[in-house]
Amino acid sequence: MEQVSLAALPQRAAPEPNNAPEVVRTVSDRTLRVGESIALDVSSVFIDLDGDPVTEYRWTFGDPDVADGSESAPGELTLDGKQVGTTSVGVRAYDGQIWSDELTFDVEVEERRGFFINSTSVEESLGQWDILDPVTLSLLGIMLTLVATGVQLFKGR
Amino acid sequence: MIEDGAVRLESEPEAMEDAAADSDDSAQPRRVGTVVVRIIVNLVVALPFFLAGAFGMVADDRLAQASLAVMLVGALVVLVGLYVSILSRPRLSLMRGEETLALRHPSMKPAFARIVLSVPFFVAAGYLLEFTGLPYLYPFLPFLVGMYMYFRGVIKYWINHHTTYYVTNRRAVRMYRFGWLDTTEIPVNAINSISQTRSLLETVTGRGSVLVASGIGARHKVRMEEIDNPGPVAETVRQLIP
């Protein structure tokens, strides 16, 4: 039987250990109002030291009744305020092989300000007059008072 | 000719300046100076609009259009103010033998007081908007009151610039000119009532109103409103009544 030297066999490289994407930045807590949506981008928050691209993000919402969201693109979340309260939002990144640690931040949902009353949930805010926001009210106030007092200029007294 | 010891009254510096402008060549530089001061006052009065507009543009892109609208209102205030500043005050054409015994303009103090008094309402509105979560009605109400007082003051300032009261030995006249001329006059021999009114605040600040009437209705009354030191004016008119 022919003896084969081990040294003569082709050498196979040992598989390199894969590292999970790492969190390199924090995400500050967010505040939004009932019915309001804000965009959030965490694509630069995770970095994979092995150079693997992050292919997927997984979001978790502590209380989806308070705040919920949907991903418009990998790492980009549209966060929706549902009802008054505070909840936590978590996110993990995936490099195709392993998930990162979870990064969490708090989201506070405040009352939606209306003209007569504030609403504490999306359902309550459906009947609100969205047009009466501070900008419109400011312009309305300026125009009303300008017209009301401008009449005096024509009368001269 | 001044009748029966009636006193010539041109106590206000501006009234004297106006009177001097008719006869004194050196009054031209003073008039230019007065116009410049009025333009500066108008710019100061319009400044809150420009500041609010600039703040809105820098603070939030969503406020850009509203900020522009607010700045346009400021520009409107400046433009009308410029027109008011350049337009001279109405002057009475005297008849043969007629003499001016009193010439007054309304005091500017009430106009400035209204503008200053509007500030606390704006502060209250800003506080309620930014530091409380109350519905918008709450900050809107003081904002509305503040804007109303502010514009009342500005409009009053413009009106007062173009209102002149005359008492001559033949008539009592109120003249208002703002592009158009509105004159109310009562012949001396038709005057049947003179009254002088002063509120508590006016008494403290030495102002008041003199009402000269020949009958019922706006056209039969010359109300010399918010003039400084109204007593001598009323006395002058009294001495003219036959």
What is the reported pLDDT for A109? Answer: 94
What is the reported pLDDT for B4? Answer: 41
Mapped onto helix, strand or coil, the DSSP state of residue B16 is: helix
In whole angstroms, what is the distance from residue B208 CA to residue B109 CA? Answer: 12
- Average per-residue pLDDT for chain B: 82
More confident residue, B19 or B80: B80
Helix, strand, coil shares of chain B, percent, nearest 5, are 60, 20, 25
More confident residue, A49 or B6: A49
Q: Are residues B129 and A118, on separate chains, in Cβ contact within 8 Å? A: no
Which of A2-16, A53-67, A80-94, A97-111 is the least confident region? A2-16
Structure tokens at A132: 């009466």
In whole angstroms, what is the distance from residue A136 CA to residue A142 CA? Answer: 10
Find the closest chain A residue to B142 by CA distance: A141
Give residue-wise pLDDT tens across range A18-50: 889 999 999 999 999 898 899 999 999 999 888
Provide the pLDDT confidence category of residue A115 given band limits of 50, 70 and 90. confident
Pairing outcome for strands A85-94 and A103-110: antiparallel
Nearest to B66 among A138, A145, A149 (CB): A138
Answer whether B207's CB lies under 8 Å from B107's CB: yes
pLDDT at A10 over 70: no
Q: How far is CA B200 from CA B155, B197, B206, B207, B211, in A?
A: 23, 10, 10, 10, 18
Handedness of CA B97, B102, B106, B107 (dihedral sign): positive
pLDDT at B62 over 90: no
pLDDT at A77 over 90: yes
Which of B55, B131, B143, B227 has the most A C-beta neighbours within 10 Å, making it the best mutation to test the interface with A?
A: B143
Cβ-based contacts of B45 with chain A (< 8 Å): none
Give the residues across from A35 on adjacent strands.
none
Which of B127, B136, B225 has the most A C-beta neighbours within 10 Å, making it the best mutation to test the interface with A?
A: B136
In whole angstroms, what is the distance from residue B49 CA to residue B76 CA? Answer: 10
Which of B57-71, B123-137, B170-184, B220-234 is the least confident region? B57-71
pLDDT at B26 over 60: no
**Orientation of helix B27-59 relative to helix B13-23, angle to 10°:** 130
What is the reported pLDDT for B94? Answer: 87
- Average per-residue pLDDT for chain A: 86
In whole angstroms, what is the distance from residue B181 CA to residue B89 CA? Answer: 11
Give residue-wise pLDDT tens across range B77-131: 888 888 877 777 778 888 888 999 999 999 988 888 888 999 899 889 888 988 8
CB-based contacts of A30, cutoff 8 Å, min separation 6: A38, A40, A79, A105, A106, A107, A108
Structure tokens at B172: 């009592």
> How confident is the model over B6-32, as a mean pLDDT?
52
What is the reported pLDDT for A4? Answer: 56
Phi-psi region of B46 (alpha: psi -120 to 50; beta: other; left: phi over 0): alpha
Which of A142, A144, A155 has the most B C-beta neighbours within 10 Å, making it the best mutation to test the interface with B?
A: A142
Find the closest chain B residue to A132 by CA distance: B136
CB pairs under 8 A between A and B: 81
Q: CA B75, B78, B84 angle in degrees (round to 5)?
A: 145
What is the reported pLDDT for B211? Answer: 93
Structure tokens at B74: 């400021």
In whole angstroms, what is the distance from residue A2 CA to residue A118 CA? Answer: 89
Structure tokens at A19: 């590292």
For residue A107, which of A127, A130, A95, A91 has the smallest C-alpha distance? A91
pLDDT at A60 over 90: yes
More confident residue, B219 or B193: B193
Sheet holding A76-81, edge to edge: A37-41, A76-81, A67-73
Structure tokens at B13: 């510096």
> How confident is the model over A52-78, as a mean pLDDT?
93
What is the reported pLDDT for B11? Answer: 47
Give the residues across from B196 on adjacent strands.
B210
In whole angstroms, what is the distance from residue B18 CA to residue A150 CA? Answer: 27
What's the gap in Å between the CA of A41 and the closest CA on chain B?
20
**Segments in chain B forming alpha helices (H):** 13-23, 27-59, 64-86, 109-130, 137-161, 200-205, 230-240
What is the reported pLDDT for B86? Answer: 79
